[in-house]
Structure 1
Amino acid sequence: MRREDLVTLPSPDPRHDYLVELRAAAGPVALRVRYVPDRLILDPASLARHTEGLTGGLEAVALALLDDLANELVPRWLEVTASAETPLPHRVVAEDRQPAWDNPTLLARLERI
């Protein structure tokens, strides 16, 4: 039920590894989603709608979003970062990937946490 508002579209070319990065907010929580698509990509507007319904601490929000996106997109690689500045600076990074996927050259280019 929670995932109904996530809209997926076909990847323009599933033969290639490429990185998608999206940013959104869930109240005071800043969210960054980075993924390497497989067959599907996410409609960015649907992510904005979806994050409005996420509640809880940073850990709960990051893991719920990771679970929702992993199930709907089945990306090759997925990372969700949730951060907030109050009451103290706090960041949670959650990652998932398909078991047989690896592209160290692409992942090495990513800005690290």
Structure 2
Amino acid sequence: MHRREFLSTAANPDARHDYLVELHGEPAPGTRLTLRYVPDRAVATPDGVAAYLGALSGTAGNSGPEALALAVLDDLNNELIPRWVEVTVERTLPVPQRVVVEDRQPSWDNPHLFIRLRRI
């Protein structure tokens, strides 16, 4: 089973509104993953994200944080098709490192939401 298949989704309870979903996990010891997204038609289920993190654990320690962040971004874009998504990968060893990647649907923008995101 490909890791992407673990990402189960549910219907967005109200796609008329923009709202932020934030999830945290640790796919490998010393590696912290933060997912932030604005859903479109689907939201990730907590059980699906937990299973996905488990599937990532085999590769998370072997690839660099850049490769991991880009792989997760690609998976989320394919399974959730969010309006906006940000993936952050942080590692503490051998030196503290943080990688942030972002993507959005071409026609989507919400400046008011982004102003609040900067404060978080």
TM value normalised by structure 1: 0.94
Matching residue within 27, 37, 40 for 2:39: 37
| Structure holding more helix per residue | 2
RMSD: 1.4
Displacement of 1:85 after TM fit?
Answer: 1.0
Does structure 1 residue 6 correspond to structure 2 residue 7? Answer: yes
Same amino acid, percent of matched pairs = 57
> 2:50 and 2:69 mapped to 1: Cα distance?
14
TM value normalised by structure 2: 0.89
SS at match of 2:33: strand
Matching residue within 28, 46, 49 for 1:47: 49
Does structure 1 residue 89 correspond to structure 2 residue 96? Answer: yes
Letter matched to residue 96 of structure 1 = D
Structure 2, unaligned stretches of length 5 or more?
A: none
Does structure 1 residue 19 correspond to structure 2 residue 26? Answer: no
Q: Is the Cα contact below 8 Å between 1:25 and 1:48 reproduced in 2?
A: no
Runs of 4+ in 1 over 3 A off after TM superposition: none
* TM-superposition CA deviations, 1:47-72 (whole Å, max 9, x none): 12212232211111111111001110
Structure 1, unaligned stretches of length 5 or more?
A: none
